[in-house]
Amino acid sequence: MLETLSGNPLSTTVVSALISHYIFKRWEQTDILSLAALLLFLPSALSTLFWNNHTATQSLLIAFTVYYIVLATSIVLYRLSPFHPLAKYPGPLPGKISAFHLMWVSFKGRRHLYLQSLHEEYGDIVRIGPNEVSLLDPNCTIHLMGTQGWPKGPNWEGRTMTDDLPMVAIRDTNVHHQRRKPWNRAFNSSSIKEFEPLLRKRVKLLVERLGEQKGTTDLTMWINYFTYDFMGDMAFGGWSEMLIEGDRQGLWQMMESTINTSLVLEHMPWIMPYFRLLIKARIKESPMLGHSEHKMNQRIKDGATSRDLFYYLNNEDGADSQPPPKNLVLSDGLLAIFAGSDTTASVLSNAFYLLIRNHEALQKLLEEIDHLYPAGEDSTDSRHYSEMDYLDAVINETLRLYPAVPSGSQRAAAPGSGGKAIGPYFLPEGTLARIPFYAVQRDPRNFFPHPEAFWPERWIIASSDGPRPDGFIHNTSAFIPFSIGPYNCVGKNLAMHEMRMVLSHTLQNLSINFAKGWDETVWEKELEDTFVFAKGKLPVTVTTRNLNGGA
């Protein structure tokens, strides 16, 4: 058999596979014609060279086997060789070989913990993929993500199920800047005031519904319903009534399922165009898409009753010369609901968990709330929020421990840039990079003491001129829960306002405790990094507070 394969056909097949590897490395072919030509047509054509000594079926088997073994071996050896541009940066062997390794870690929901452990083992820069690194040094943040930083990486294309990319998934800096303009108008300080009546109405309904619950109830579920309802109000002028009806249409479950699928596909962005083709008919029949199109058309028909997000996305403020295409308005409206509801729900759920678990912190916050909003005062009135230092400390400490996007956002060197120095590290063109927010914000070099513990007092100490504990460290440049630079979270001010109101009004009116017998350590075990934090159930009991006598 070896003698049969030792002639020119075998050599030609080996050389062809090596040339294909060079083509993939040099031009990163991902379009279907190029992939078909290199992975199907070429080995099929090479099989004809073996016809003299083998049947057509045997020739195909030999050609494909040799071709793929040589191609795969060449790729692996190159990625592990000293000739690879990232060879000098340490990292786990499986990650250097294939992106499938990190994809598998992500699928299990433990990417944030995995990245943290890698940095503990390898240091401030770790090669986590064949062409991707993770950077723990907060001094790299401004270089990678600031105004002169890198554009978004291809993982965003892998996260988008439709052909109409939402604003957050656009990698072209100029196009992203244009698409973001109505968002900037919608989320400036004066515009947020326009959203406040919608927010106050939903917060009051949340507290009312929680107060009606008897026995054990899932606080996570109610927070999910609240954020989803409110973002629907803001994005389309009305979307759902989950606080009253529950997830009757399965929209929240559908959103969670989409996020989980996107998590896997973000590691293979090149496959997404083909995946979209496979599920195109299913997307068109999706209840989520049908619901959103109905709500959009209804919103256009009824006109603006308030200056909600749709008012700006649809150019109803007349800021642009022409109205945008409906498909882009729909895409960005859905983005607001997906991004704004799941992230805020995650932080709020974690905040309540941490407060209930830490009685001293809860009591301090209650004292602040009761002082500024005594019995009879409406705590959805935001006039005192700027005075609530401990409330902000609680929110910031929650964001530090559990950032909404724990593993950060991928960036990529712009094509033709040749690469760039990111802090002390030169990263060549073709490199992907990320700052793992979860790991950075728990690094004792950035926050000390108690870097892994819930300690809101660190924020009070850092903002005062009083004495500080020995070795106290509070590196605000390492606090990046909303990202930074031109791709930062456009809705961060609204999110902060929303969290202040929910926490203030809920804790002013209700006493919330863990359900009897519930193991509170389960909460962290069930937190999963699905790009945002996916949460388990938070079983609690709720009673009405005696506002005249405290909790």
Q: Which residues line the annotated binding site for heme?
A: 489
- Name the binding residues: 489
Question: What is d(CA 40, CA 184) in angstroms, rounded to the nearest whole number?
Answer: 47
Q: Count CB atoms within 10 A of the CB of residue 31.
A: 10
Give me the sign of the Cα torsion angle 102, 104, 106, 109.
negative
AA identity, residue 360 = E
Query: Which two structure tokens, joined as six digits, stand for 253?
Result: 């479950």
- Which of 264, 67, 243, 248 has the alpha carbon at shortest distance from 161? 264
Query: Which two structure tokens, joined as six digits, stand for 152?
Result: 């978004």
Query: Which two structure tokens, joined as six digits, stand for 96?
Result: 């250097």
Query: Which two structure tokens, joined as six digits, stand for 37?
Result: 């030509």
Q: Are 266 and 155 in contact (CB under 8 A)?
A: yes
AA identity, residue 1 = M
CA atoms within 13 A on the CB side of 126: 24
Question: What is d(CA 163, CA 52) in angstroms, rounded to the nearest whole number?
Answer: 48
Q: What is the DSSP string of 189-256?
A: HHHHHHHHHHHHHHHHHHHHHHHT--SEEEHHHHHHHHHHHHHHHHHHS----HHHH-STT-HHHHHH
Q: Which residues of 277-313 are buried (b: 16+ CB within 10 A; e: fewer)?
A: eeeeeeeeebebbebbeebbeebeeeeeeebbbbbbb
Placement of tokens 């909003």 in the chain: 373
Q: Count CB atoms within 10 A of the CB of residue 503.
A: 23
